[in-house]
Structure 1
Amino acid sequence: MSGEGAPGQAPTDCHDLRVAVVAACWHEKVMDGLIAGAQAALAEHQVEAPVVVRVPGSFELAVVANELAQKGFDAVVALGVVIRGGTPHFDYVCSAATDGLNRVALGTGTAIGFGLLTCDDEAQALDRAGLENSREDKGYEATAAALLTAQTLRRIRRREHLG
């Protein structure tokens, strides 16, 4: 299972971070779970008034994440799911979305939560969506990672002690 070995970190106070979530619309049940997981992480980390933006699909995550990052958000969480089909479309979308989100992070210096599920079938996606019978909650995990990264970036930029 891909979630084994994940670090255990208690939620921290992130009330002073501006956070946006950009979420694809495809695969409604999976996306509902990912968004619920993100919202749970935001609440546990005390994020006030996060912005949630929906986009048609996973391909569109990067361009909207880039715009949100340029608008001054401290963290942007990208949530989507791509399920393998019988054509190369899966590979193209996964690669473009992943590369695009990485470029946003490096180009803007903004913490980007990578919550893009790339699954062979719907069962794998449901198992990672944070639903009642899921083994993992990638929406929560991507959000928590983005928040902790945003805090680290803030400390570095303020030249605060990092240890």
Structure 2
Amino acid sequence: MSARTSTTGDAAPDLHGADGTGLRVAVIASRWHSVVMDGLVGGALRGLAEAGVTDPELVRVPGSFELPIACSRLAGRFDILVALGVVIRGGTPHFDYVCDAATAGITQVSVSTGTPIGFGLLTCDDEAQALDRAGLDGSHEDKGFEAAQAAVATLAAIRAAGC
């Protein structure tokens, strides 16, 4: 595991080794905060490639609030989805509303469709926290990579259980 994969140490599961060969995958990513998002998307694509996924589809949406609707429309076409976004706290309650809506919406889509969705929505107090989790050079975490690997591992676990 690379040094950027997680700072949670022994608490983080080792998701490497899940086989995503032949999976149809879409990565849905926000456009806000392009530097952070470029890191998250790059990490997700690395995580999928490591799992053997070829040719994932990249779908860009305006912001994190739009992730659930895109996931909802794409869930039936793909085996797994990876949802990526970032919301940085500001001086208004906007942060809370967007984080709550995006999280609840993505969860509802996953549960109602049975489609595993890698959750790569960063909810940070400031830009420095987001950059530190984006999987960029110098970042301590690579949440895009982790979200992609988690989605592949979740589908593998579901299939292993005979579902």
Q: Counterpart of 2:3?
A: none
Rounded Cα–Cα distance in structure 2 between residues aligned with 1:19 and 1:75:
5
* TM-score calculated relative to the size of structure 2: 0.92
Moved more, 15-24 or 77-86: 15-24
Q: Output the CA distance in 1 between the equivalents of 2:39 and 2:17.
A: 20
Instruction: Give unmatched runs, 5+ long, in structure 2.
Output: 1-5
Residue type matched to 1:156 in 2? A
Q: Which residue of 2 aligns with 1:17?
A: 23
State the match for 1:144 in structure 2: 149
Q: Which runs of 5+ in 1 are unaligned?
A: 159-163
Between the aligned partners of 1:18 and 1:157, the Cα distance in structure 2 is 19
Q: 2:68 aligns with which of 59, 62, 67?
A: 62
Q: Distance between the aligned counterparts of 1:92 and 1:78, measured in 2?
A: 18
Q: How many residues align?
A: 157
Residue 117 (structure 2) aligns with? 112
Question: What percentage of residue pairs aligned between the two structures are identical?
Answer: 59
Residue 43, structure 1, aligned to residue 49, structure 2: yes
- 2:127 equivalent to 1:122: yes
Deviations 1:21-51 (A, max 9, x none): 0000000000000000001001101102111
Output the amino acid matched with 1:18. Answer: R
Distance 1:50 1:91 in 2: 31
Cα displacement (A) at 1:13:
2.4
**Cα distance in 2 between the residues matched to 1:79 and 1:103:** 16
For residues 114 and 30 of structure 1, the distance between their equivalents in structure 2, rounded to whole angstroms, comes to 15
- Quote the residue 1:155 is aligned against: 160
Q: Are 1:83 and 2:55 matched, yes or no?
A: no
1:161 aligned partner: none
Q: Secondary structure of the residue that 2:19 maps to in structure 1?
A: coil
**Residue of structure 2 equivalent to 1:133:** 138
Deviations 1:104-153 (A, max 9, x none): 01000000100000000000000000000000000000000001111122
Distance 1:23 1:157 in 2: 31
Structure 1 residue 11, shift from structure 2 partner: 2.4
Report how far residue 54 of structure 1 moved: 0.2
Q: TM-score, normalised by structure 1?
A: 0.92
Q: Secondary structure at the match of 2:161?
A: helix
The two structures, once aligned, show a CA RMSD in angstroms of 1.4
- Partner-residue secondary structure (3-state), 1:130: coil
The CA deviation at 1:70 is 2.1
Structure-2 separation of matches of 1:138 and 1:99: 19
